[in-house]
Structure 1
Amino acid sequence: MSDSDSIRAAPATYLEDEKNLHDADVDDSKGTKDAAITNTHVLEVDHNGFEKKAEAVLEIGTNEEELARLEASIEVMSIERAVVILKQLAEMHRDDQNFPSDLLHEINDFLEDPSIAANPDMYPKVIRAMKLEAVLATENSPYVEVRVNVDPTDDPTMPVSTIRAWFIGIIFCAIGTFIDTLFAFRNPSISIGTNVAQLAAYPIGTFFARVLPDWRFRFFGEHSLNPGPFNRKEHMLISIMANLTFTAPYTFYIVPVQAMTQYFNMPFAFERGYQILISLAVNLFGYGMAGLLRRFLVYPSSAIWPGSLSTVALVKAFHSGINEPVKGPFNRTYKASREKIFLVGMIVMFCYYMFPGFIFQALSAFSWMTWIAPDNVNLTAVTGIYGGMGLNPWPTFDYNLSGGSGLYLPTYSVVNQVAGLLVAACIILAVWYTNTWNTGYLPINSNGTFDNTGGSYNVTAILNSKGALDEGLYQAYSKPFFGAGYIVYNMWAFASYTAAFSYVFLFHRKDIARGFKGVYRSFFKHDEEEDNLEEDIHYRLMKVYREVPEWHYLLLLILPIAFGCAAVAGYPTNATVGALFYGLIMPAVLILPIGIIQSVTGIPVALNILADIIGGVINAGHVNSFIYFKCWAYLSSWQALSFVGDLKLAHYAKIPPRITFWAQIAATFVYAIISSLEYNFIMGISDVCTEDASFRFTCPYQTSFYSATIFWGVISPKKLFGPGQQYNMMLLGFPLGFVAVGVYWALRRKFPRSKFLRSVHPVAFIMGPVTTATPYNLAYFIGNLYLNLFSFQYLRKHYLAFWAKWNYVISAAFSCGIAIAGLFIFFALELPKGGLSIDWWGNNVVGLGCEGAGGCPRLPVPDVGYFGPAPGSYS
């Protein structure tokens, strides 16, 4: 016997997350190749050992019942059917970075050698392995991340639309909207997050199930105050409602920037009627498009939506009823339940966050190199967190600063973003040090708008009484100038649009064709049997529920426009309602490409910069027309994809589509009304949206929105990018996006088995500096890389059962602990009259020197008193 010609069993590679397998023995006399599977293979485990059995079950992300079902399915599946499925699987996942590359290569090797399928008795283990892959593809999810969190079963009789679920969900929506909108004006912002709602909903729902009587009545069906135990579908319904509202609405940009004196100073924006109408218009829009995108972004198994998995994991933790022991680090077996780990993780993070969040704030922005010489301009520019590029190998001890996405985004996504950030940082430094575009006279990474003296740009100095650009005033005052970071960020944003469009065309056009084929079948061939690989088991389970009629979504394309027209025409906005209509053309073209990117990688591709350019050309010099155009051109796609992500949550949880639809509508109405009634309170806080603001309410997002509005809407792209204008070269970003993806596509076709190229994602690379936009930098993301490498590349590879049980639960626990700690710090310590603060070096050092000022210019203003072209000479 020899092992020189051994091959690996593909499913073992997949089931054990690409673990190394033992080589197979080969029969020299027959040249037989076969694959041995390690003793932890799920189908050959020693069932006498409970812990080994539990670990093996977790390695494919299933329970024992599902394991038995898989074994039964393998026995009845024919080789011919397995080959058909594997061919489709190989084609569908050829360019899918979430699908293990080793597994894909082994499937291709099997398909390329027909003698294996033709002689099953000679290759029993290989045949069994290939059948198992085919079964997993049709009866579960092809992705281990999904299998460890989502059960491939459903109980259609389980109550969902219960009185207690609606009551808890609506109350949570109101509370979450108020708090998250408030904290969205803070730097860094603090979001409660869906996980807090999930945590609080469980004991409340369980309490209601214990104490409420079973009073029944009929109203569009039978209802009960207490239909039984609080279940996972009710829990997820509440989570979906919270997911819509536990964030700040887009109007938190629009209303303050229009209303406040340091921005555009438009008094009508303080009126409640306007705030409510514009909030309803903005927040309701997107549902119509979301309904049309289900075939492309919800039903396919490749649409993972990585960010949703921690939400699913937490619900599973509370309702699974299974507490299997798992082998983990230090060669120990861990028996703590998911619920216990969640509670411990939340409490630990709550206590810990008190230090970077309040007691020792330098731990958050750990810009330790700038503390050596706080006034050193170059040191701050390179290493500073608040005032530079954040090139610091360990910039924070604050989980909140990095956002925690390293625990749920795939490694290739995180690594590509970090690589893009590093390249962008080098470009920004080169632009700043060469004084390109006069950036040397300004802070390197500011998102502000400056005049030719280096001061903040006073936009009111160039506007007439109607809020439009006055050319004479503009010539007498100054051109707008922008920091190197903001300029380079925009260049990468330009590249991201062309890259996303070309990437989806080159790599996902067949997926889109399958989606349109499904739409065609849904309208014209209702009874046609669908291929059981085109949509996964979760789609097939959802087919038992009635779908939402298409006219519901059509109505939601019309209603928000009516609210928007009322807001624009009913108040002295000096804008035309036409902006609402032609603003919809851009998302209609681009929403599908960017939706595919987000559903696969977890990285959103926002259309805001593209909307800036087009809106600026159309509405040059008219502030509000530009704002409304941008709102519809950009936000409609953003909202639609947010709603689609929630539809995927419901898809995973098997919540009937009609119930999900009405839950989303109710939550959005609460969201819009509560947030709109809150703005005047926030804008009345002392020194809000200034550097002197209490509680760090310095409004970084509003300032960026204001800068973008000046950049694109008031001055207009013609004065910025026209022939001979100072920012004309920034337009090179558009063709660079095409070129980058084209080169990558050519390399992938030339080297189809390259693991390195398969791990590269050009859109994720380009989106790195766009996602972490100025004034943020690498320091805000490097922690995600460390977390991800430890979680996905160490724990997952060495202790898959341990990782599968706890990774997503810990992600939810940490986010929840930070949110609760943030609320406690703000409301209990900082907000009360004479609020508590700790005056010591650990809190004050972050405000010293250039770092505390948000960066310092490298060059002094010339003796003539200004830099750039002389006033009056602007072409």
Structure 2
Amino acid sequence: MSRTKFFVVVLVCSFLYYLLPGFFFKTLQSISWVCWAFPNSVTAHQLGSGFTGLGMGAFSLDWATTASFLFSPLISPFFAIVNVFLGYFLIVYIVIPISYWGFNVYHARNFPIYSADLFTGDGQPYNITKIVNKNFEIDYNEYGKQGRVNLSTFFALTYGFGFATIASTLTHVSLFYGKEIYERYKASTKGKSDVHTRLMKNYKDIPAWWFYVLLTVTLLVALALTIFMKHDIQMPYWGLLAAALMAFIFTLPISIITATTNQTPGLNIITEYAMGLVYPGRPIANVCFKTYGYMSMTQAISFLADFKLGHYMKIPPRSMFLVQFLGTIIAGTVNLSVAWYMLNNVDQICHPDPKSSSPWTCPNDHVFFDASVIWGLVGPRRIFGPLGNYGALNWFFLGGFLGPVVVWVCHLLFPKASWIPLINLPVLLGATAYMPPATAVNYNSWILVGTIFNFFVYRYRKMWWKRYNYILSAALDAGVAFMAVLLYFSTGIENINVHWWGTDNPQHCDLAECPTAKGIIPPSDACPAF
């Protein structure tokens, strides 16, 4: 079968199949059979829930769930999948259970085992609106009355491992790739060109001034916003320059990790932390700083990946530049327009009734908002500093920084052990960086599918893998995307739903979000009192 025919067949199948998990049988998104086997056990639901628990045994028959947060597992190398699995298993199935049931770390049982929400000390939802004044800054008097912000232990430890990830990225790249980076930098002007570079010389290169002009214009526009709209965005001009500097510093090391593992450590935590320390109490300023720092780096890596693809596919560099430029303008305009339309036309968007089957739950935006409260409004000093509950998590920075040193020394002592250099601590420690909003079932399915195709199929059906693996990934993505758009315009706008066991409660794990400490008022009537 030709690749084109294979692509079309898989696309059609994916398109039609997504009707089931996307509309008629949403339980396929997370088959949490442990909850079904023990319907009245809080512990079983906490362990087995794919969406709000540890996902033990949970899996998905939905490609959108499998690829939604970690992207397609078919395009990640197997050693990277193994690193993600090891980190995920260590954190979710060893650290979290010990912290929750073993030592009740940070009063873990006062809160759900897996949640991105913010709580008071007695396990009740934190009333964020009360501690925000009319200028969108923190009201310290109201904050003092309501008390410290508390996180679920899972959420708190995720931040700790995030600290370790960003620190280990710098050390890992310096030790394992520092020499190669230096040699390639020297070779860029003196070394011999490879076959791809020689072929690309047939095209006109991109003038350097194109980049300089684009950088200057965008920087000036952003500076104008910080100067003339300072009251609205709260961030001073020096914040923009500092964010750009952070993006510049981290783009190279994180690009190395992305290029070798297809996993991209984020700058979101370190940018939030830095701005929260320097400029606390202003959530919008923190969000702007994170966006300029984190997203600038992310977009830079994305553009580099596009140029790399264009280099191998022999696409003229100037054409690539223009397509990227126009694509950014179009995508930014369309995204902003659609977001504005939805905010004004979708009832209770991002705040749906828990009993409804509304798809507008906005998990990414939920975490983004809570992060603005943690790092911007309240500030790291009152969360991870001397005035907060989670100061000990700062030691993760040191652990992450020293971890790659241990791996590197082991590699020097045992050079014949070829598996040691495959230990990638930025990937391993950052395995759960997407959690929350990603859930256990996303990881379970991603690891399972990735292992099947990039280990078993690659090893035992290598010719099939070479011919069809990436085509399969693209076709599955395309089929789901087309059906998702069709479902939105045909049923989503009119709020048309099918009501039965397989749609009204997608995972049937209602008790997973129940706190288990004595005396804590449960969030719903379904939760038993302890």
TM-score norm. by structure 1 comes to: 0.56
Letter paired with 1:397? L
| Corresponding position of 1:715 | 378
CA distance in structure 2 between the aligned counterparts of 1:396 and 1:849, rounded to whole angstroms: 15
**Do structure 1's residue 401 and structure 2's residue 401 form an aligned pair?**
no
Asked if 1:497 is matched to 2:159, the reply is no
Alpha-carbon distance in 2 for matches of 1:503, 1:759: 11
Q: Which amino acid aligns with 1:592?
A: L
Q: Contact conserved, 1:421 with 1:777, CA < 8 A, in 2?
A: no
What residue in structure 1 maps to residue 324 of structure 2? 664
**Aligned residue type for 1:686:** D
Structure 1 residues 748-757 or 501-510, which shifts more?
748-757
Q: 1:624 to 1:830 in 2, by over 3 A?
A: closer
Q: Which runs of 5+ in 2 are unaligned?
A: 522-530
1:14-46 deviation line (CA, Å, top 9, x unaligned): xxxxxxxxxxxxxxxxxxxxxxxxxxxxxxxxx
| Preserved contact between residue 222 and residue 240 of structure 2 (Cα < 8 Å) | yes
Answering whether residue 49 of structure 2 is matched by residue 373 of structure 1, we say: no
Distance 1:677 1:568, change over 3 A: farther
SS class of match (1:677): helix
- Aligned partners of 2:387, 2:226: CA distance in 1, in Å? 36
1:676 to 1:649, Cα distance in 2 relative to 1, 3 A: same
**CA distance in 2: counterparts of 1:775 and 1:858, whole angstroms:** 22
2:76 partner SS = coil
Bigger Cα Rg:
1
Instruction: Decide whether the 8 Å contact of 2:407 with 2:421 is kept in 1.
Output: no
CA–CA separation in structure 1 for the residues paired with 2:520 and 2:84:
38
Question: How far apart are the structure 1 equivalents of 2:380 and 2:258?
Answer: 28
> For the residues of structure 2 that align with 1:375 and 1:561, how far apart are their CA atoms?
57
Q: Distance in 2 between matches of 1:620 and 1:600?
A: 36
Give me the whole-angstrom Cα distance separating, in 2, the residues matched to 1:856 and 1:387: 10
Shift of 1:568: 3.8
**Aligned partners of 1:618 and 1:543: how far apart in 2?**
47
Cα displacement (A) at 1:565? 3.1
Q: Which residue does 1:645 correspond to in 2?
A: 305
Match of 1:510 among 170, 179, 182: 179
CA deviation digits over 1:713-735, x for unaligned, max 9? 11111112223631011112111
Separation in 2 of the partners of 1:822 and 1:471? 45
- Distance in 2 (CA, whole Å) between partners of 1:419 and 1:353 is 30
More deviation, 368-377/646-655: 368-377
The 5 Å alignment of 1:555-704 reads 555-571=213-229, 572-573=231-232, 574-684=234-344, 685-692=346-353, 695-704=358-367
SS at structure 1 position matched to 2:260: helix
The separation in 2 between residues aligned to 1:775 and 1:438, in whole angstroms, is 22
Equivalent position to 2:400, from 737, 745, 763: 737
Give the unaligned 5+ runs of structure 1: 1-335, 522-527, 864-875
CA contact (8 A) 2:122 2:520 kept: no
Does the CA-based 8 Å contact 1:687-1:694 persist in structure 2?
Answer: no
Distance 2:341 2:520 in 1: 43
What percent identity do the matched residue pairs reach?
A: 26
Q: Does 1:363 align with 2:28?
A: yes
2:450 to 785, 788, 806: 788
Report which of the two has the higher share of helix.
2
Distance in 1, Cα, partners of 2:222 & 2:519? 45
Matched letter for residue 222 of structure 2: G
Deviation per CA, 1:162-212: give whole Å up to 9, x if none.
Answer: xxxxxxxxxxxxxxxxxxxxxxxxxxxxxxxxxxxxxxxxxxxxxxxxxxx
Flag the 1:458–1:596 CA change in 2: closer, same or farther, 3 A.
same
Would you say how many aligned residue pairs link Structure 1 and Structure 2?
Answer: 511
What do the CA deviations read for 1:644-686 (whole angstroms, capped 9, x no partner)?
A: 1111121121111111111111111112222222332111211
CA contact (8 A) 1:612 1:713 kept: yes
User: Displacement of 1:756 after TM fit?
Assistant: 3.3
Q: Quick one: which amino acid aligns to residue 623 of structure 1?
A: P
Asked if residue 821 in structure 1 is aligned to residue 479 in structure 2, the reply is no
Between 339-348 and 675-684, report the one with greater CA deviation.
Answer: 675-684
With normalisation by structure 2, the TM-score equals 0.91
Answer yes or no: is 1:779 the counterpart of 2:441: yes
Quick check: 2:161–2:429 contact (8 Å CA) kept in 1? yes
1:452 to 110, 121, 133: 121
Larger relative contact order, structure 1 or 2 (CA cutoff 8 Å, min sep 6): 2
C-alpha separation in 2, matches of 1:554 and 1:474? 46
Structure 2 CA distance, aligned partners of 1:619 and 1:750? 45
3-state DSSP of counterpart to 2:328: helix
> Where do residues 434-445 of structure 1 align in structure 2 (5 Å cutoff)?
434-445=103-114
> How far apart in 2 are the matches of 1:759 and 1:648?
23
Structure 2: which amino acid aligns with 1:473?
E
For the pair 1:349 / 2:14, whether they are aligned, the reply is yes
Pick aligned residue for 1:531 from 192, 200, 206: 192
Q: Per-residue deviation at 1:849?
A: 5.0
Q: CA deviation at 1:569?
A: 4.0
2:87 corresponds to 1:420 = yes
Shift in Å, 1:847? 5.8
**Are 1:811 and 2:451 matched, yes or no?**
no
Query: Given residue 556 of structure 1, which amino acid in structure 2 is its aligned partner?
Result: L
C-alpha distance in structure 1 between counterparts of 2:475 and 2:64, whole Å: 12
Partner of 2:390: 727
Shift in alpha-carbon separation, 1:636–1:446, aligned structure 2, 3 A: same
Could you tell me which residue of structure 2 aligns to residue 164 of structure 1? none
